[in-house]
Structure 1
Amino acid sequence: MKTVTLRIEDSIDEKFRHFPPEAVEILEQPEYMSDDEYLRSIPGMVDSIRAARAEPDDRGVSLDKLDW
């Protein structure tokens, strides 16, 4: 999946979902980064996940105790 930035003609109604090809111009195609790549790019994230995974289950919180 790629993320693209689009410029849409002002005359196009905001609620109109199907644009003719000439109404849309691709301005930029940034490099796609998967969730895994993104998380690995955060300093210390891999070590933090490994440490959390190594914690004993009894230190965790059960779903019924979460305030969602």
Structure 2
Amino acid sequence: MHKIALSIIAGFILIYLQSLMVMKLNGYSSIEFNNLSILFSLWAVNVIMVYSLLFNLKKPILESENQA
């Protein structure tokens, strides 16, 4: 449950950071998302990416705790 909540929040943070990087590299002053579906698809990709990273990090952490 915590992984899902963290993934949702981190998805929005990643969209913000990615937008800042694009604006900085291209010299833009703002980015306009033409419709909500583009923003939602970017957010969904980021959520899935963060969730998969958190899911894969859990196993090595548990293994290191069991060895200690």
Tell me the TM-score normalized by structure 1. 0.31
Larger radius of gyration between Structure 1 and Structure 2: 1
Structure with the higher helix share, 1 or 2: 2
**More strand, by proportion:** 1
Tell me the TM-score normalised to structure 2 length: 0.31
